[in-house]
Amino acid sequence: MKSLLFENSLSRIFALKLTSIFNKNAALGWFAPVRYAEVKEPKIPNSRWMKIRNVSCGLCGSDIHFIFMDMDPKCFPAALPGVPRKYLGHELIGEVMELGDEVNELSIGDRVAMRIDWLSCYQLEIDPPCRQCKSGNYMLCENLGKSEPPIADNGGGFSPFMVMHKSQPVKIPEHINNERAILVEPVACAIHTVMKRTPEKDETILVIGAGTIGLLTAAVAKTVSPESHIVCLARYPFQAEVAKKLGADKVLLDGKEIYKDVARHTGGRYLKGYFGNEILLGGFDVVYDTVGSDLTVNNALRWARGGGSVVLSGINFKPGKIDYSTIWNQEISFTGINCHATEVSGETSFGMSIKFLTETRFPVEQIITHHFPMENYREAVQTFLSKKDTHAIKIILDHPKLSK
């Protein structure tokens, strides 16, 4: 089978960094660390695993990070124990085609999404599990690298077939169609973001970013707290239109006067110091930064009111300079999220996501904008990178249907 995978090869990474100086599309070449290559079809390693036939998989921003290897080797994730080969694709929908004898919760033909992508005590079958996995925070597993996984070539969402440990899949109810089901994982990420600091009645909330996670975060925040005032900061007008349909009460378009726009909207006091140093006194009660660049983090901290909160869900593997003086000067509560987990309520982000998507009034139909056949992944990546022209939000890669 052919699969999109990342080879953890220093020579490939170095070659990509070098050639990218001269060719912006070097990451899509044959020598790059991420390649679409022929690999063996995986087999379940023991009775606690299952085999999945993938139907479709969403292209995520983290996949783009892997493809272009835009990672500082000194950032925290770069030092985490890795695997020689990482199969890409986690926003998937698949069908169960083979079950180990100890998998009792699913049946052949069930549709599933994947809950746990990165290695954790669950797939490593470590007993007792670490304190993070025991509490349901599997993305924070403390046993990474302590044990070898039962299978190395497990496949991913961008593979026609893959194997999962029984702890990984989440069953998709029959009444949720595939177009909504493919969003189970990104909706779970948005839920985890909002649950870190749930909006309260009459609070003013800012969502920075109007990509998939930003739009879903706005929708989740409005669903959880309909009497809060949700503002979305978008880069493009087409994103603004979708944000309004998904529950944003107000959309601001990013621009040179954005600090003044935020001040006017929140009633905050706009001030400008030497060297173009713009700040606000007063601002939003909560800011969700779904972009995560140095610029958006700095802005998020400056746009939250004194004593307000900032939740960071956007991923940046090349952090630069961040002015953290706002945190102590304005007593900002600043936290982050890593995908999804078990929430304070005891429910999992995925369980809540299924409930949200079951409710037909939860507005997600505008999110998926493009479908591509899996073999056209390069075109999908180019479409992702050209949002201004393509109006892309969520891009889906579809696997060929099996002939009967």
The 10s digit of each residue's pLDDT in 45-95 is 999 999 999 999 999 999 999 899 888 888 999 888 877 889 999 999 999
pLDDT at 14 over 90: no
Domain 189-336 listed as CATH 3.40.250.10: no
Q: E-strand spans in 118-276?
A: 161-165, 169-171, 204-208, 229-234, 250-253, 269-272
Sheet strands side by side (includes 284-289): 250-253, 229-234, 204-208, 284-289, 304-312, 333-336
Three-state secondary-structure class, residue 180: helix
Residue 71 phi/psi, 5-degree rounding, is -130, 130
Using alpha carbons, list the distances in angstroms from residue 217 to 201, 257, 284, 296: 17, 24, 16, 16
pLDDT at 244 over 60: yes
Query: In degrees, to the nearest 5, what angle opens at C-alpha 326 toward C-alphas 322 and 331?
Result: 135
Residue 395: Cβ within 10 Å count? 23
Q: Average pLDDT of the chain?
A: 94
Q: Where does CATH 3.40.50.720 sit in the chain? A: 189-336
Diameter over CA atoms, the chain: 70
Cα distance between residue 87 and residue 288, in whole Å: 29
Distance, CA of 252 to chain centre: 23
Cα distance between residue 197 and residue 333, in whole Å: 10
pLDDT in tens, 114-156: 999 989 999 999 999 999 999 999 999 999 988 888 888 899 9
End-to-end distance of the chain based on CA atoms, in angstroms? 18
Using alpha carbons, list the distances in angstroms from residue 348 to 102, 135, 164, 237, 345: 23, 11, 19, 34, 8
Q: Which of 61, 67, 62, 56 is nearest to 114 (CA)?
A: 56
Cα distance between residue 277 and residue 330, in whole Å: 16
CB-CB contact of 165 with 365 (8 Å): no
| The predicted structure's pLDDT at residue 403 | 56
| 285 membership: H or E segment, kind and range | strand 284-289
Distance, CA of 52 to chain centre: 22
pLDDT in tens, 254-310: 999 999 999 999 999 999 999 999 999 999 999 999 999 999 999 999 999 999 999
Give me the CATH topology for the region 2-121+153-183+367-398.
Quinone Oxidoreductase; Chain A, domain 1 (3.90.180)
Q: Where does CATH 3.90.180.10 sit in the chain? A: 2-121+153-183+367-398
pLDDT at 313 over 70: yes
pLDDT at 2 over 70: yes
Three-state secondary-structure class, residue 35: strand
The tokens describing 51, both together, are: 């085999």
Cα distance between residue 213 and residue 217, in whole Å: 6
| 98 membership: H or E segment, kind and range | strand 91-99
